[in-house]
């Protein structure tokens, strides 16, 4: 992924063009600072382009037992790459260690790295799983993402409340009904 710094001026120019295209007066008081604000906003909301999952997953702790670790209800906000509108929800990551675990916060940080980009929910889900497999090298990983897409709620088909669920398995979770059911059972526990 690109390590380039964001081009703030380009974003500002783009925002001015969209506002002009819509027919707005870009010189009216309320809009004067908007291009600058939006450029600063993207620096935060698209920070994933300059972040790297490997950086967060490289610190490990040894464990004696390779029991499943599950982190669930990890909230995230992302953007759909088709409409540049937010999609948001929660992610759950489970893995079976291979003698090593990562800090719990790093699981949520990995979600952030890939969520803070223009995304497809399917790709976001797979990228989180693949980052775990590549960096931590567990025996397997399973990731579930549940999200609402604003491009389906405030425009287009307009179906608020519709949830999209994407699931990815890697390693020992592949085709392993027992492990997958274990994951789903742990997700349901409140």
Ligand X SMILES: Nc1nc2c(ncn2[C@@H]2O[C@H](COP(=O)(O)OP(=O)(O)OP(=O)(O)O)[C@@H](O)[C@H]2O)c(=O)[nH]1
Catalytic amino acids?
80-83, 121, 149, 151
Q: Within 13 Å, how many C-alpha atoms sit on residue 77's CB side?
A: 9
- To the question of whether residue 127 is assigned a binding role by annotation, the answer is no
**Residues within window 54-83 making contact with ligand X, judged by CB under 6 A:** 80, 82
Alpha helices in 33-144 (DSSP H): 34-45, 53-57, 104-115, 121-135
- To the question of whether residue 80 is assigned a binding role by annotation, the answer is yes
Of the candidates 189, 186, 165, which has an alpha carbon nearest to the alpha carbon of residue 96? 186
Site map 131..160 versus ligand X, x via CB under 6 A: ------------------x-xx---xx---
Instruction: Spell out the residues 6+ positions from residue 141 whose beta carbon is closer than 8 angstroms to its own.
Output: 93, 94, 95, 96, 129, 132, 133, 169, 170, 171, 173
- To the question of whether residue 39 is assigned a binding role by annotation, the answer is no
Site map 16..55 versus ligand X, x via CB under 6 A: ----------------------------------------
Of the candidates 179, 184, 166, 161, which has an alpha carbon nearest to the alpha carbon of residue 68? 179
Pick from 13, 20, 33, 122 the residue near ligand X by CB under 6 A.
122
| CB of residue 81 to ligand X, shortest distance in Å | 7
The binding site comprises 80, 83, 151
The binding site for Zn(2+) comprises 80, 83, 151
């Amino acid at each position: 992924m690109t390590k380039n710094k964001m081009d703030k001026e380009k974003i500002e120019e783009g925002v001015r063009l969209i506002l002009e295209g819509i027919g707005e007066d870009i010189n009216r008081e309320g809009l004067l600072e908007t291009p600058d604000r939006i450029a600063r906003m993207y620096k935060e909301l698209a920070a994933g382009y300059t972040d790297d999952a490997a950086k967060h997953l490289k610190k490990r702790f040894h464990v004696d037992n390779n029991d499943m670790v599950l982190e669930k209800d990890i909230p995230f906000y992302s953007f759909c790459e088709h409409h540049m509108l937010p999609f948001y929800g929660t992610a759950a990551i489970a893995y079976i260690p291979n003698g090593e675990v990562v800090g719990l916060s790093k699981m949520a940080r990995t979600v952030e790295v890939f969520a803070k980009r223009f995304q497809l929910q399917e790709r976001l889900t797979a990228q989180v799983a693949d980052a775990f497999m590549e960096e931590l090298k567990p025996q397997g990983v399973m990731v579930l993402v549940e999200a609402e897409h604003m491009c389906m709620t405030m425009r287009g088909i307009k179906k608020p409340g519709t949830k999209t669920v994407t699931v990815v398995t890697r390693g020992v979770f592949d085709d392993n009904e027992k492990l997958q059911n274990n994951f789903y059972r742990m997700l349901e526990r409140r």
